[in-house]
A and B are shown apart, each in its own frame.
Chain A
C-alpha cells in the first residue's frame, strides 16, 4: 500500500514556479531520499508534505487521506530539522514529551513513552539535561527521539546530518539506517549529499530546478542514469561524460572520441540494442564510470567479452587510500579511472587501459537523455 502519494504537486511564489508538477508514490516502509543541488525545490517539497508550506496545485496523500488542508500536527508525520530545533528552555525529557503534552496525553503515559524512546536512542542518562549541555550527536538523537515518540506514519528528515562533522556524520548515517531497519517506518529524507542518498535510500528522487529528473533505486540511478545531469550528480568521482561519434553499422558499431586534432580514441562496441543502433553515424554523449576503466592484469571483469583495450595518457594521479584516481587524456577528453593503489604509472605515461563496456551508457547530445 502506498504510504505517501505526491500527485502533480506544484508550488508557485507569485508568478515563479518553484515546483513544476511532481509525482512520486512511496510504499510503506520505503526510505525515499530527495536529492539535488540547492534551490532544486527538495526542501520546499518536504515542507509541503509536512504542512509547513501550502500546496499551489496537486494533492498530497498520506495513507489514503488527502492532507493538503490539514494542520501539520494532524498529518501523522514527524520531522527532524537541520538545526535539530530543540526547545532550548526545556529539558531533553520535556522536548521529547512536548508533542504528547500538546495532545493532552496523561502524564504516566507520557513518561512511559519517553522512557521507551530514550532506551532505543540511548538517551536515558541525558533526560534531565538542557539541549545546550549536549554534543551535536546527542542533540541529533534527541531530535530523532522527538520524532520517534509520536509513532508517525512517515518520518521527514530535512538535511539532518549537515551540521555534524565528517566522522559523526558517517556514524549517524549508519544509526539512521539501523533505525529504519528496526522500525520499518516510511522515511522521506532530504539531502544534497549524493553519498548519503546512495547509502540510505531504498529509492532516490533526483531533482533539479523544480523538476523530477529520475526516480529509482540507487543501483538504477547509478548504472542507468536517465540523463546527463543524474549521471554527473550521482557517484563520486562523477561519471565520465564525453562527446563521441558512433561509427559503423549493425553489429559493428564503434565509438570515436576525439577533441579537435588530438589523437583519436576508437572503442569497438559489442552488439547494441535497437535504440542505440538508430544513432549510427551520429554524435552521442558517452558515459563511463571511473571503475569501468582498469589497468594491467587486475582488470575489472577481465576476460569477459565486453572488455576493450584503449590507449590513453596519464595526466594526474590522486591516491585516496583504498584506490587511486587517475585522470586520463582519452581522445582529448579527461576521463577519471579508479585504479589499484599500488600503481606504477607516472604522469605523462602513455599506456593501454582496459575499458569494461558492460556499463557504458550513451546519451542523446540534444536532449541529454539516456538512449535506451
Chain B
C-alpha cells in the first residue's frame, strides 16, 4: 500500500520529463491536423489569386490582402447578380433570429404547460411532440411546399421562418420540458398563493430562472437554422435565399479561373455567426445540457 501511495512522486522525479513531451507532442500534432482545414481556408482567403495557383496550399501569403473578403461581401456574383453575398447574409440573419426567438419562446411555454399545468394526456402529447424530433427533413419537403403555397408564403423569408419554427419546436419543447421538470413545483404554488396567474408565473418566476436552458436552445436552434441547406434550397428562390444556398450558388456560378480566395472568404463569412455563438455560449451549452439530469 505504501508503495502505491508513493506513485505520484514519480512525476517529480529528476531528469527530463519524456512522457510529458510525448503526450503534448501527440496532442499538438492531432490538434494541428484538426485545425488544418481552417488554416488553409484563412490563408487562402488572404492571398491574391495568382499566388494560390502558383504556390502550396499551406504556404503563408507573400502579399497579405483582405480584398477577397471585400469582393465576397460586395461584388461576388451569385447567379446573374453581382452584388456580393451581403444580401443573403442579412436574409439568413433575419430568418435565423426570428425563427430562433419564436421557436425558443413557444418551446419554453410548451415546457411550462407540460410540467406545471398538467392536463389529461399531457404525457401522450409530449410523446407525440418528441416523435417529431425523429422525422427526417426529406419526408416533410413536399407536404411542406404544398402547405406554404396554400398559406401564400412560399419562396419568402417568412415561409422559411415558419418551416424552421415548426421543425424546431419539437427540440425546444423537449429541452424546456426536461428543464422545467426539475423546477420546484412549490415555487409555482407559492406564486399562485401570492396572486400570480398563468402568464405572470411564467414571466416572473420561471423565465428569470431559465438562463441555462435558454442558452442551450438558442445555440441548438441558431446553428441548425443558420447551417440548414435543404429547407433553404427547397423553399426559397433567388433573392430570398439564405446564406448557405447563396454560398453554393456562388461557387457554382463562377466561370473561368475559379476565385478560390473569394470562395474561402465567403465560406468564412457564412461560418462566422455560428462560430461566435459557440465561443460566447459554448461553456453554458454543456452545463445546460446536463441541467436537470442530476439532482441537486
Residues of A within 8 A of B (CB): 50-52, 71-73, 77-79, 81-83, 85, 87-89, 98-99, 102-103, 146
A102 with B200: CB separation less than 8 A? yes
Of the candidates B193, B195, B196, B205, which one forms a contact with A50 in the assembled complex, judged by CB atoms under 8 Å apart? B193
What residue of chain B has the Cβ atom nearest to residue A53's Cβ? B189
Question: Given A85-B184, A87-B205, A88-B209, does the pair A73, B194 have CB atoms closer than 8 Å?
Answer: yes
B186 with A72: CB separation less than 8 A? no
* Distance, CA A78 to CA B190, complexed state (A): 9
> What is the CB-to-nearest-CB distance from A136 to chain B, in angstroms, rounded to a whole number?
15
Contacts of B204 in A (CB 8 A): 87, 98
Contacts of B184 in A (CB 8 A): 83, 85
Of the candidates A83, A89, A98, A103, which one forms a contact with B209 in the assembled complex, judged by CB atoms under 8 Å apart? A89
A102 with B195: CB separation less than 8 A? yes
Which secondary structure dominates chain B's binding surface?
A: helix
What are 16 inter-chain pairs, A to B, with CB distance below 8 A?
Answer: A50-B193, A51-B192, A71-B192, A72-B189, A73-B193, A73-B195, A79-B189, A81-B189, A85-B186, A85-B189, A87-B190, A87-B191, A89-B205, A89-B208, A102-B194, A102-B200
* Distance, CA A214 to CA B200, complexed state (A): 41
The 10 closest A-B pairs by CB, nearest first: A73-B195, A102-B195, A89-B208, A99-B194, A85-B190, A85-B186, A72-B193, A81-B186, A72-B192, A85-B187
Residues of B within 8 A of A (CB): 184, 186-187, 189-196, 200, 204-205, 208-209
Which of B192, B193, B196, B208 counts the most A-chain CB atoms under 10 A from its CB? B193
Contacts of B190 in A (CB 8 A): 79, 81, 85, 87, 146
Contacts of B208 in A (CB 8 A): 89
What residue of chain A has the Cβ atom nearest to residue B211's Cβ? A89
A83 with B186: CB separation less than 8 A? yes
* Distance, CA A352 to CA B114, complexed state (A): 67
B187 with A87: CB separation less than 8 A? yes
> What is the CB-to-nearest-CB distance from A150 to chain B, in angstroms, rounded to a whole number?
8
Which of B186, B190, B196, B209 counts the most A-chain CB atoms under 10 A from its CB? B190
Contacts of B193 in A (CB 8 A): 50-52, 72-73, 77-79, 99
* Distance, CA A353 to CA B196, complexed state (A): 63
Q: A83-B186, A87-B190 are in contact. List 7 more A-B contacts (CB 8 A).
A: A52-B192, A52-B193, A72-B189, A72-B192, A73-B192, A81-B189, A85-B190
B195 with A103: CB separation less than 8 A? yes
* Distance, CA A50 to CA B186, complexed state (A): 13
